[in-house]
Amino acid sequence: MSLLRRFLHDARGTTAIEYAVIGAILAVAVLAAVSVFASGLSDLFGTLFTAMDGALA
């Protein structure tokens, strides 16, 4: 029982776990944003590349 009590009150490593959770949340947010804006960005870059090819030709 004392081993369980010591484990529950031990605060070592909590900062690393908090940073890992924050990193995971940020990764999910970035992936969601990329999936939402992917087609719009693809169209934008396609238009830009076409305009650049026309300007250089």
Domain housing 15: 2-56
Mean residue pLDDT of the chain comes to 88
Query: pLDDT at residue 27 above 90?
Result: yes
What confidence category does residue 3 fall into, taking pLDDT thresholds of 50, 70 and 90? confident
Average pLDDT over residues 9-17: 84
CA distance from start to end of the chain? 79
Query: What's the structural domain count of the chain?
Result: 1
* pTM over the 0.85 mark: no
Q: How far is CA 55 from CA 33, 45, 46, 48, in A?
A: 32, 15, 14, 10
The upper half-sphere exposure of residue 6, i.e. CA atoms within 13 Å in the direction of its Cβ, equals 3
pLDDT grade for 57, boundaries at 50, 70 and 90: low
- Over range 20-33, report the average pLDDT: 96
